[in-house]
Chains A and B, each alone.
Chain A
């Protein structure tokens, strides 16, 4: 936990924050509306005696009273998918519509890809890319298990992603849920911070900048790009946005998901960032009883 001490100046009620980071996460699933409705999924859980609690901010996010949601009929049929609550935020913020072309730049293992497909009623096209061939098998397994048919899976480095295989030259929207130092996943994985170093933060931030700028370039004018991480480090969050604002034609826009959040920070450890990064949102474990998360919505300009 001492690795989180550097965030004390950013986080109000810091002791409550640290306490929350020590507690395990609730067991949360997303209802897959490609295969069923939230009503039927709840009915199936009721039949099996698995208790559930809904969430005000989303019809499809349910907390279950079992630690093993995979051992349910609802899961076998692809009606529910284990997905941490904050992980459901970025696809909701991107809000893709049926018929649109959407790029999921860092797609494996596919929770957000399948959520995008569901939000699109499985119509339109999701291009799900990941640079790691090993993780692609999990991505492919999950898209098929959840009955997704509108996804094309590619295997390249997103920083140099090419639209060449496709018969269009820009996406309507892009989801950039980048690899990160994962500090926000400490509740799910207590060893998440064991390998944490400032060098890793700096190196992953470089990759994040490359992926976000490529996503902005590959998205049409007026289109939307959502950038997210599961970490608290401003170097991987606001600093990456600050870089993209400088390098590409884009602006940050406000959004509301109905979860408690704090605005992006404009200064940290002597660095200052563009004032508009306040429009990004920081989700802390002690505010909604979730993992930690960062999410920003950008509009691509001409």
Chain B
């Protein structure tokens, strides 16, 4: 039995579970849902209507609905999660879109801290929860709104907001 390898030119739907896996190292739908649940307590039902895809090694994309797999096109839905590394990393856009559902590992920033975060600056701050990727939020128009994903290590909140999304506000 030969293992198929990842083809960086096409989108492949993620296998439902490890038993369905044909490409070595590919994340499964179940693992992706569990990761968001365990890390942020975003319930798996949130993603019921979505399918997950890999294009590019470890790059997971989320699509509302479904299309034929594999599919050779430029982009499909939104880049969602980076896998095939020790710590999986969600994208800023995915956290802005789905992070409102998060119940765990959510850090509420003041307006000034939020400004620094969206400028892409790292900052020292107090956080006694888990280290690792956090949903960074601030209050806007009366509710908490996700700014993106932050990385908390050694007393510091790092801002992985991509250059093109950074703003001086």
Contacts and interface: CB of A to CB of B under 8 A. Distances in A.
Given A72-B169, A77-B96, A125-B67, A147 B78 contact: yes
A144 B168 contact: no
Nearest to A167: B68
Interface residues of B, number: 33
A147 B93 contact: yes
A47 B63 contact: no
A70 interface: yes
A43 interface: yes
B155 to A, nearest CB: 26
A44 B141 contact: yes
B118 A76 contact: yes
A179 interface: no
Contacts of B75: 136, 140, 143, 151-153
Contact of A147 (B96, B118, B141, B164): B96
B77 interface: yes
Interface in A109-153: 122-125, 136, 140-141, 143-145, 147-153
Which of A36, A151, A152, A166 has the most chain B CB atoms inside 10 A of its CB? A152
A53 interface: no
Interface residues of A, number: 38
Which of B67, B72, B74, B167 has the most chain A CB atoms inside 10 A of its CB? B74
Nearest to B98: A147
A47 B71 contact: no
B78 A153 contact: no
Contacts of B65: 123-125, 150
A70 B168 CA distance: 10
A78 interface: yes
Nearest to A34: B97
Contacts of B57: none
B145 interface: yes
Interface in B83-141: 91, 93, 96-97, 118, 140-141
A33 to B, nearest CB: 13
Contacts of A47: 140-141
Given A35-B96, A144-B78, A165 B140 contact: no
Contacts of A73: 140, 169
A75 B118 CA distance: 12
A153 B74 contact: yes
Nearest to B69: A167
A2 B167 CA distance: 41
A150 B140 contact: no
B77 to A, nearest CB: 4
Interface in A151-169: 151-155, 165-167
Contact of A152 (B49, B67, B91, B169): B67
A145 B78 CA distance: 9
Contacts of B63: 149-150, 152
A71 B118 CA distance: 11
A165 B72 contact: yes
Which of B68, B76, B78 has the most chain A CB atoms inside 10 A of its CB? B78
B93 A151 contact: no
Contact of A149 (B73, B97, B140): B97
Interface of A: 34-36, 40-41, 43-44, 47, 70-73, 75-78, 122-125, 136, 140-141, 143-145, 147-155, 165-167
Ranked nearest first, the 10 interchain pairs of A and B with the lowest CB-CB distance are A153-B75, A43-B141, A167-B68, A147-B97, A150-B64, A44-B141, A153-B74, A149-B64, A149-B77, A40-B141
10 contacts: A44-B141, A71-B168, A77-B96, A136-B74, A144-B91, A147-B93, A150-B64, A153-B73, A153-B75, A154-B74
